[in-house]
Amino acid sequence: MKTVLTSFCMILALMASSALAQEMAVHQIVLKDHKFEPSVLKVKAGEKFKLEVKNEDASTEEFESNVLNIEKFVGPKKTLKLTLGPLKPGKYPFFGEFHQSTANGVIEVEE
Amino acid sequence: MNALIVVYRESFEALLIVGLLWSFLNRQSADKRGYQALLVGALGGLVLALGLGVFINQAESEFEGLALEIFQLAMLVLAVVLMTHMCIWMRKHARTLKSELESGAQQALSTGRFWSLTLLTMIAVAREGSETVIFLYGLWMESVEKSQTGAFIGLSFAGLVLGVVTWYAFQHGFKAFSQRTYFTVSTALLFVTAGSLVVAIARKVISLGWIEVGTEPAWNSEALLSDQHPVGSFLNLLTGYHAQPAIFVVLVYAAYWAVAVTLYRQAGQPATVRAS
């Protein structure tokens, strides 16, 4: 009985998580040679979304956005996963704290 | 050039807090134990910074990332409590300490006081130090690849020296002040620095997703003074200034000042009564 219940719960949880995953758009930004690609990311307004920051450099970077209150480390060859939004239309700049002169970008939120 | 700027900024931030504590001790001609407490704190902070740096670089899972952030958050909260408590304690005892000293009585700094000195120094050094460790490690790896290790060491050392020089100038500027003004100015600076840590705490709470309301900017003073502007980034370092602070951050910051000012006033009252 216990196993049946557990597996039932697991299926429910799986369904719930896949439903959530379907709803949320996933955007990826790659950091290479201390530059973000894409440096301009277009996102729909009023929706939650996932942002993955993949660091392909050999050094740790600190992914920062003043407007979005983000300040997080991304280790070398690692990926930072964030859930953001819902955001109002506008421009939300971000940067790499350790290489501010090159590692710059902006999330453009549009209707 | 990056090495110079980052090391400069981080070392100045750490020195600001440690320096204020140090000059507090200096002004009160405290006994040796005070300085020992600072030294132990600074060394402990360096060890902790190295440990944190290695941990952050190695952290694989999201759980480790979360554990790290919560640890950093706890460090920040503890630092704010200690700094605020210290300001209030100084206010209460500034006069008695001086008179006790003049009458030749043994100064009574309790053991607890030394512990908070040690802890505060440790946190200040560890917080700024761990970022420096991570940054320098990355840069070191790159300079090895490009065989520019000489420039790397030179620039980071220059950054450290600049940090110390700026801090020294800062401290020296204080000497012109009278004892009274000195206490007011340095207490204000400690409160302001604690305020910048409060901003960091509030922003961390948002980034951890613990709060969902009040995350939008309260205002936008980007056109007036942006975070990237030299003045803006200096203010950010000292006070936690942001051109577009979240409503939640502003509220928490205001609440901190309200509590700090109330406590400080209360601490000052008995002293004023005695003086009159």
Q: Answer whether B124's CB lies under 8 Å from B50's CB.
A: no
- Higher-confidence position of B74 and B171: B74
Q: Is the pLDDT of residue A21 over 60?
A: no
pLDDT score at B271: 47
Enter the DSSP assignment of A70: E
Q: Is the pLDDT of residue B198 over 90?
A: yes
pLDDT score at B275: 44
Q: Residues 6 or more apart from A40 whose CB is under 8 A from it?
A: A105, A106, A108
Mean pLDDT of chain B: 83
> pLDDT for B107-123, tens place per residue?
445 666 788 889 999 99
Q: Is the pLDDT of residue B17 over 60?
A: yes
pLDDT score at A27: 97
State how far the Cα of A28 lies from the Cα of A52, in Å rounded to an integer: 5
Tell the residue number behind the tokens 């290479």, with chain if given. A32
Mean pLDDT of chain A: 86
Is A5 domain-assigned? no
Q: Is the pLDDT of residue B41 over 90?
A: yes
CB contact under 8 A, B141 and A58: yes
List CB contacts (< 8 A) between A71 and chain B.
203-204, 207
- A36 — phi, psi (to 5°)? -90, 140
Q: Per-residue pLDDT averaged across B223-252, rounded?
A: 92
Q: Residues 6 or more apart from B239 whose CB is under 8 A from it?
A: B192, B195, B196, B199
Q: Residues 6 or more apart from A27 whose CB is under 8 A from it?
A: A41, A43, A49, A50, A51, A52
Is this complex scored with an ipTM above 0.85? no
Q: In what order do the strands lie in the sheet with A61-65?
A: A40-44, A104-110, A90-96, A61-65, A70-74
Is A89 domain-assigned? yes
Confidence of residue B145 (pLDDT cuts 50, 70, 90): confident
Q: Per-residue pLDDT averaged across A27-43, rounded?
A: 96
CB contact under 8 A, B138 and A59: yes
pLDDT score at B9: 82
**How many domains is chain A partitioned into structurally?**
1
CATH number at residue A40: 2.60.40.420
Count how many Cα atoms sit within 13 Å of the Cα of residue A91 in the half-sphere of its side chain. Answer: 8
Residue ranges making up the domain that contains A29 = 25-110
Residue ranges of chain A whose CB lies within 8 Å of a chain B CB: 57-62, 66-67, 69-73, 75-76, 78, 81, 83, 88, 98-101
Is A51 domain-assigned? yes
Q: Is the pLDDT of residue B200 over 90?
A: yes
* CA–CA distances in Å: residue A58 to residues A14, A62, B61, B127, B232: 35, 13, 19, 23, 30
CB contact under 8 A, A60 and B134: yes
Q: Other CB atoms closer than 10 Å to residue B42's CB: what's the count?
A: 19
> pLDDT for A40-85, tens place per residue?
999 999 999 999 999 999 888 999 999 999 999 898 889 999 999 8
Q: Is the pLDDT of residue A1 over 60?
A: no
Count how many Cα atoms sit within 13 Å of the Cα of residue B149 in the half-sphere of its side chain. Answer: 6
> pLDDT for B171-180, tens place per residue?
777 777 777 7
Which tokens sit at B84?
Answer: 């605020």
**CA-based nearest distance A75→chain B, Å:** 5
- Higher-confidence position of B115 and A29: A29
